[in-house]
Structure 1
Amino acid sequence: MTSPLSALVAEELALPVEPAVSAMAAAIAARYPHAARAVLFYGSCLRETRLDGLMLDFYLIVSDYRAAYGGGWLAWANAQIPPNVFPFEHDGLIAKYAVLSEADFAALNRAPASSVSVWARFAQPSRLAWAADDAARGTAVAAISQAPVTLFALTLPMATNDNPLDIWRQGFALTYGAELRAERKGRNNSVIDADPDRYARFGAAALAIAKPIADAPRRWPRLQRHGKLLTLARLAKATTTYAGGIDYLAWKINRHADAAITIRPWQRRWPILGAISLLPKLLMKGSVR
């Protein structure tokens, strides 16, 4: 039997996207003909209609990593430090897409996940821009339906009231502290304020089934420590998979935090050291938290 929350997720995922987004999602899937199961569109571009000059965000869900890559380094890296992230261009638009297996996508949306990065994103709106078949659609809905439940289960023990919007705000404030993020202060509130009706409906449905996790106050500091270390590990890994990764990092920080950073030639030559060298200045300025 479909729960009210799953019904809301299915309805939201099925909302139409711009034709250019659908075309790009299909093109991403076509790169993995033996493994692609679903392509999800998410992020700050979701409500945009003029996409030129923007970096679109996708998740590619695959059956498994060997089917996607044929084994080797990429399959191993994706399994050990998920996800792999790749740049993509199609018909004049640019994007990045992260790759997760169906099993990892389901696991990383649940409360036992050691990182907030997947469930914190998919507790927010997304669209199913491409799916291999009805089974793939159902698997995506089931996984994403866990994301708001996870956020509420981990936030309820610290909540000051049972207002869904207040729980969302506190939950996002906690998740923003669990990653190295380039966001303006108050971003967690602006996400909710952009569509409070959506968050009220999803929050009420999540609140009805979420069971507070008793040790959440002890888990959050661990999630925050692990999340920031994981961000650095993913950044290091991205230098082997993401061409121009340090320039994308600078673009993202400048766009979200008005940091006005520029990348020097030596930082492009040694992107891991270059990215690490930016951190002290960004942390001191509060551009990355």
Structure 2
Amino acid sequence: MPSLVQLVADELAVPALPDVHAFAAHIAAQYPDAARAVLFYGSCLRSAQLEGQMLDFYLIVSSYEEAYTQKWLVKWNRRLPPNVFPFEYNGLIAKVAVLSEGDFHNLNRPEASAASVWARFAQPSRLVWAANDAARATVATAISGAAPTVLNAALAFTEREVDVLDLWQTGFRMTYDAELRAERNDRPASVVEFDPDRYVRFGKAALPHTPIANELRGEKVHILPDPQGRITQERNRWPTLRRNGKLLTVARLAKAAFTYAGGIDYLAWKINRHAGTQIEIRPWQRRWPLIAALFLVPKLLAKGSVR
């Protein structure tokens, strides 16, 4: 059976659509001294539909100092990663999140203060541009921390015996609850159901790397005795993860008011798409996006459009 790192590397190497690779090369070209890798992920990867959609990329850079000429962008990418920017290329639009190689590695592991990065990269992604083989290897190693982190969280909140796919769904449900999300309640299940064979393979490769001891018996995962108290440790950190995740969502929205042109329109588009709402942004909200976001989020929480 291939190792987890090899599974990740093989999945990253699967080609995406040519337009996606061209877009990724365009993104990297804007950061010639810093770009190390560009990753493509999200709903457009699953659907292979690009027209009229907002593509999702992560740009991995060597350092924030090499990526930016403005010191305030360096400061905020380090303090509140990632920075997110809008891009347009050849008739397509995207949002691009920027992380350093070091932050990308750390945010894919249990020590991360929020679940957003490892929750996303436990799901499929494509390496659509890389500076060299060393950058490819670094990205694969970083992402290999994501699946064990999700599954370890799920192990702490499940029965002593659980199906591999049920474990994934529990883990994704927990990560969705740890952010302000606009997706419907069935979204964690639909992510796994899109490619269950993939999640079985990755689950079997990742489970030996979780801090919580377990044993695979066919398609079932059995939690083993836990004398070191790893289950209690994992359970105890989740109230903080949930609180931090929701606070970080609001903080990143506020930061996007300064770094992301048209960010309030993107926020409305994203919520309408996933929650079935009909939010329309007014002219004053575009002039004052930070104030608009601070007013918008409580209303959406009250309606249940985001959780």
* TM bucket, shorter chain: over 0.9
What corresponds to 1:173 in structure 2? 173
1:245 is matched with: 263
Partner of 2:120: 121
- Tell me whether 1:220 sits opposite 2:241 in the alignment: no
Where in structure 2 are the equivalents of 1:114-193 lying within 5 Å?
A: 114-160=113-159, 161-193=161-193
| Amino acid aligned to 1:243 | A
SS at match of 1:11: helix
User: Partner of 2:73 in structure 1?
Assistant: 74
Please list, as runs of the form range in 1=range in 2, the aligned pairs for 1:196-275 lying within 5 A after superposition: 196-212=196-212, 213-214=230-231, 215-275=233-293
CA apart distance, 1:3: 6.3
Q: Distance in 2 between matches of 1:87 and 1:119?
A: 22
- Find the aligned partners of 1:91 and 1:210 in 2 and give their Cα distance: 43
Give the alignment of 1:43-58 within 5 angstroms: 43-58=42-57
The code of the aligned residue for 1:187 comes to R
Cα offset, 1:208, TM superposition? 2.1
Instruction: Decide which moves more: 105-114 or 257-266.
Output: 257-266
Aligned-pair CA distance for 1:50: 3.5
Distance in 2, Cα, partners of 1:228 & 1:49: 30
Q: 1:189 to 1:243 in 2, by over 3 A?
A: same
Task: Look up the match of 1:106.
Answer: 105
> After superposition, what is the alpha-carbon deviation per residue over 1:223-264, rounded to whole angstroms, capped at 9, x for unaligned?
000000001111111111100000000000000111111111
Describe the superposition over 1:118-141 as per-residue Cα deviations: whole angstroms up to 9, x where unpaired.
000000000000000000000000
Residue 186 of structure 1 deviates from its aligned partner by 1.1
CA distance in 1, matches of 2:182, 2:146: 22
Instruction: Write the letter of the residue equivalent to 2:245.
Output: G
**Structure 1 letter corresponding to 2:154:** T
Q: Post-superposition, which runs of at least 4 consecutive aligned residues in structure 1 deviate over 6 A? A: none
Structure 1 residue 273 displacement after superposition: 1.1
Give 1:70 shift.
2.9
| Correspondence 1:24 to 2:29 | no
Task: Give the aligned CA root-mean-square deviation in angstroms.
Answer: 1.2
Residue type at the aligned position of 1:277 = F
Displacement of 1:47: 2.8
Length, aligned pairs only = 288
Q: 1:65 touches 1:71 (CA, 8 Å); kept in 2? A: no
1:86-137 residue CA offsets vs partner (Å, 9 max, x unmatched): 0000000000100000000000001111100000000000000000000000
Report the residue type matching 1:43 in the other structure: G
Q: Which runs of 5 or more residues in structure 2 are unaligned?
A: 213-229
Aligned in 2, Cα 1:102/1:226: closer, same or farther, shift over 3 Å? same
Equivalent residue letter for 1:240: F
> Runs of 5+ in structure 1 lacking a partner?
none
CA–CA separation in structure 2 for the residues paired with 1:6 and 1:50 = 28
Matched with 1:276 is: 294
Q: Are the equivalent residues in 2 in contact too, given 1:155–1:216 (CA < 8 A)?
A: no
TM-fit CA distance, 1:279: 1.8
After TM superposition, give the deviation of residue 209 of structure 1 in Å: 2.1
Determine the C-alpha separation between the residues in 2 that align with 1:254 and 1:135: 40
Cα offset, 1:71, TM superposition = 4.8
Are the counterparts in 2 of residues 45 and 56 from structure 1 also a CA contact under 8 Å?
Answer: yes
Amino acid at match of 2:110: A
Q: Tell me the distance in 1 between the aligned counterparts of 2:272 and 2:55.
A: 16
TM-score under structure 1 length normalisation: 0.97
